[in-house]
Amino acid sequence: MKLALKKAITLYLPICILIISSCNQSAGSKGQSDLLDTSGIDSTVRPQDDFFHYVNGGWIKKTEIPASEGRWGSFTILQQKTQLELKFILDSCANLKAAKGSNAQKVGDFYSSAMDSSTIEQKGFQPLQADMQRINTLQSSRDVLKEVAFEYNMGLSPLISFSAGPDAKNSDVVTEYFNQGGLGLPNKDYYTKMDSSTQNIRKAYTKYIAKVLTLSGDDSTLAAAEAASVMKIEYALANASKKPVELRDPYANYHKMAVAELSKKEPNMNWSWLPGALGVKADSVVVGQPAYYAALNNMLLSVSVSDWKNYLRFRYINFFAPYLSTPFVNANFDLEKMLTGQKELQPRWKRMAKLTDEKLGDALGELYVKKFFPPEAKQRILDLVNNIQQTYKERIDSFKWMSDLTKQKAIGKLNAFAKKIGYPDKWKDYSSVDISRNDFIQNLKNTGHFAYQYMINKIGKPVDRSEWFMTPPTINAYYNTSTNDINFPAGILQPPFFYKNGDDAINYGAIGAAMGHEMTHGFDDQGRKFDARGNLKNWWLPSDSANFKKRTDLVVNQYNHSLVVDTLHINGELTQGENIADIGGVTIAYAAFKKTAEGKSDKKIDGLTPDQRFFMSWAEIWRAKTRPEIARMLIMTNPHSPAMYRVNNPLSDIPAFYKAFHVKPGDKMYLPDSLRAQVW
């Protein structure tokens, strides 16, 4: 998922979503009968026509999205609760005289420096002046690459996307990856689409470039010309980039190439020198999108150094703009408003608590779980996930569309899943990071340097399969293809996703379906191409692959017909993996639920059958209200479908839902058997 849920390699992708008002209470203080928030029901909507709005429509009608948010719902409400808990920890650490070098000192001083707005205002642009002087001394294309490498060492990522991760075809070893990058807008479509909304975003982005360059000291007329030169570079980079759907094919985005070969093909990229400048030794690297680097090789010669300096100055300032004085913060937010529809900037404490979690995640996370994650919750979660895993095995065994040989391989991969719950077994050591209370920008540089060194120090070494890529307070989950594991941080293991004293219908409909979702990522259109060890390797018989494709074509077609905003429909190809995972997650969680005592009974709670409670629980976790601006952006960038379709589309594919809510032909939730999408 990332349930936004996100997938790790794409998770990159990985639940991502937003949460309900009743989630601030713990299950321990509530009875089973009131865990479902039926006050959100809209009785004017038939569940047979639109289940999402039947369960959530009343809440949507009476809820206003906070001015500082682009969307509001289950995930964001729970996120706010967690942010308040982090604020409590951060304020406590900031007021402590903790020992120098301790985690409490580091998170407390980082947060204090981030909240010290008077010092930040007083310094203005001064913290970046020396960096601007360095960039202004560049004289050649090699200097440009040298600056790129230098900035990577501080945690920035200009022009290229360089990272370290398990080799997709040898997942036991960490290797170097070079992927497309360099864009300031979300992806290629923002530079190529000609609809009025996208054109307005490009215009606003160009004005923003000029604005921040003016704030840095340039004359406004000069800054406008510089902004045009930056946009010219980004247009060229975008034209050489792949579209989001094209990035979904792991085979088409894996090209292991010898550095010596690259040096001959692309001499301007200085491949024989570049890895060393980035701090690594490499005889070969994985190039995700060779066409991007071929184009960049030519641009390093054809684009003037002065234009490259404009580009690098802007990208550098843009990276730090949200953390500088008010004029920079406001300019950055004005652009964000175009993309998200937010009316106001979030309170500073929220932004800086989130930033502290991003930069010192394990240090803050260790403090968080000690105070807010009850260890007894972990065992019930493990019992639940084990039931879902066993049920998944039984379903695979029962499939008639898959051969016995491929079934054996699939079950072998399923049995090999590592299940990570709550928080990592070992925490990162931040002892090498220097954090002071009075230099916010330097703290950002120091934490960026630490993160980069931590990453490149893994290259050439065995993969640490115990590593986490989300922090414990995160309201999300993910599946990692390279290590074949599912990950559920402590943050999501609370209401409305999980009630430690809740009935099985509620828990299986929420966190159970999320677990099924993450497991299904191991077998979606991308995940199925990786074996039990996480290697990119075909383990399917051709006939089974053909049968799989027939089934996923139904998924793509179903979601392609789902209208989101104006004339924009869901991109069924881009969202294919998440949609497969949603359908599979609910299906498998329901089958696992039916093994429980409650699942086998017909006993009603508050007039609702166990099956009805299960499906309503799934609908409630996707309760959300979204501004049209962010809805448009998500359709162009996000591999997850909008909340309404994460509820309605999967349920339209599940016969048990039809029975539970008496769905008949002619109802809008009804699909004929021939159109129902069911892969797993």
Please report, as a single letter, which amino acid is at residue 192: T
Cα–Cα dist 514/501, whole Å: 18
Phi, psi of 71 (to 5 degrees): -155, 165
Residue 4 has pLDDT above 80, yes or no: no
285 pairs with which residues across the strands?
Answer: 257
Q: What is the pLDDT of residue 34?
A: 60
pLDDT in tens, 591-612: 999 999 999 999 999 999 999 9
Cα–Cα dist 342/627, whole Å: 8
Q: DSSP H helical segments within 272-403, as ranges?
A: 274-277, 290-302, 305-320, 326-340, 348-359, 361-372, 376-398
Sign of CA pseudo-dihedral 147, 150, 156, 159: positive
**What region does 27 belong to: left with phi over 0, alpha with psi -120 to 50, or beta?**
alpha
Cis peptide before 500 (omega within 30 of 0): no
- Angle at CA of residue 85, ends 442 and 470, nearest 5°: 65
The residues, ordered by sequence, that sit 6+ positions from 537 with a Cβ below 8 Å of its Cβ are 169, 529, 530, 531
Band (pLDDT 50/70/90 cuts) for residue 462 is: very high
Percent of the chain with pLDDT over 90: 91
**Contact of 436 with 442, CB cutoff 8 Å:** yes
Phi, psi of 29 (to 5 degrees): -100, 5
DSSP string, 587-615: HHHHHHHTTSHHHH----BTTB-HHHHHH
Band (pLDDT 50/70/90 cuts) for residue 370 is: very high
Q: What is the pLDDT of residue 234?
A: 98
pLDDT in tens, 285-300: 999 999 999 999 999 9
Q: Which two tokens stand for residue 659?
A: 């029975």
Output the furthest CA–CA distance in the chain (Å, rounded).
77
pLDDT in tens, 540-558: 999 999 999 999 999 999 9
**What region does 249 belong to: left with phi over 0, alpha with psi -120 to 50, or beta?**
beta
Q: Which two tokens stand for residue 207?
A: 């004005």
Residue 578 has pLDDT above 50, yes or no: yes
Cis peptide before 250 (omega within 30 of 0): no
Cα–Cα dist 573/562, whole Å: 13
Structural domains of the chain, with CATH: 129-211+218-323 (1.10.1380.10)
Among 274, 314, 313, smallest CA distance to 145 is for 274
**Contact of 515 with 583, CB cutoff 8 Å:** no
Residue 13 has pLDDT above 80, yes or no: no
Cα–Cα dist 419/514, whole Å: 13
Residue 64 has pLDDT above 60, yes or no: yes
The residues, ordered by sequence, that sit 6+ positions from 243 with a Cβ below 8 Å of its Cβ are 187, 188, 189
pLDDT in tens, 173-216: 999 999 999 999 999 999 999 999 999 999 999 999 999 999 99
Residue 9 has pLDDT above 80, yes or no: no
What is the distance of C-alpha 335 from the center of its chain? Answer: 21
Cα–Cα dist 34/30, whole Å: 7
Mean pLDDT of the region 366-375: 91
DSSP one-letter code for 509: I
Among 538, 492, 494, smallest CA distance to 518 is for 492
Mean pLDDT of the region 115-138: 98
Sign of CA pseudo-dihedral 584, 586, 592, 594: negative
Residue 464 has pLDDT above 70, yes or no: yes
Residue 3 has pLDDT above 70, yes or no: no
Cα–Cα dist 617/37, whole Å: 9
Query: Could you report how far apart the first and last alpha carbons of the chain are, in Å?
Result: 16
Cα–Cα dist 329/324, whole Å: 6
Q: Are strands 170-179 and 284-287 parallel, antiparallel or unpaired?
A: parallel
What kind and span of H or E run contains 455? helix 440-456
Please report, as a single letter, which amino acid is at residue 431: S
**Contact of 515 with 3, CB cutoff 8 Å:** no
pLDDT in tens, 522-544: 999 999 999 999 999 999 999 99
Band (pLDDT 50/70/90 cuts) for residue 2 is: low
Q: What is the pLDDT of residue 25?
A: 31
Residue 397 has pLDDT above 90, yes or no: yes
530 pairs with which residues across the strands?
Answer: 536
Mean pLDDT of the region 561-588: 94
Please report, as a single letter, which amino acid is at residue 226: E
Q: What is the 3-state secondary structure (H, E, C) of 1-70?
A: CEECEEEHHHHECCCCCCCCHHHHCCHHHCCHHHCCCHHHCCCCCCCCCCHHHHHHHHHHHHCCCCCCCC
Among 294, 295, 298, 285, smallest CA distance to 255 is for 285
Residue 137 CB burial class (10 angstroms; 0-12, 13-18, ≥19): exposed
What kind and span of H or E run contains 166? strand 161-167
- Angle at CA of residue 459, ends 456 and 465, nearest 5°: 105
Residue 6 has pLDDT above 50, yes or no: no
Band (pLDDT 50/70/90 cuts) for residue 501 is: confident
**Contact of 60 with 657, CB cutoff 8 Å:** no
DSSP one-letter code for 462: B
Cα–Cα dist 464/446, whole Å: 24
Residue 170 CB burial class (10 angstroms; 0-12, 13-18, ≥19): middle
The residues, ordered by sequence, that sit 6+ positions from 638 with a Cβ below 8 Å of its Cβ are 4, 16, 575
257 pairs with which residues across the strands?
Answer: 285
pLDDT in tens, 622-638: 999 999 999 999 999 99
The residues, ordered by sequence, that sit 6+ positions from 492 with a Cβ below 8 Å of its Cβ are 3, 15, 78, 474, 475, 476, 477, 498, 511, 514
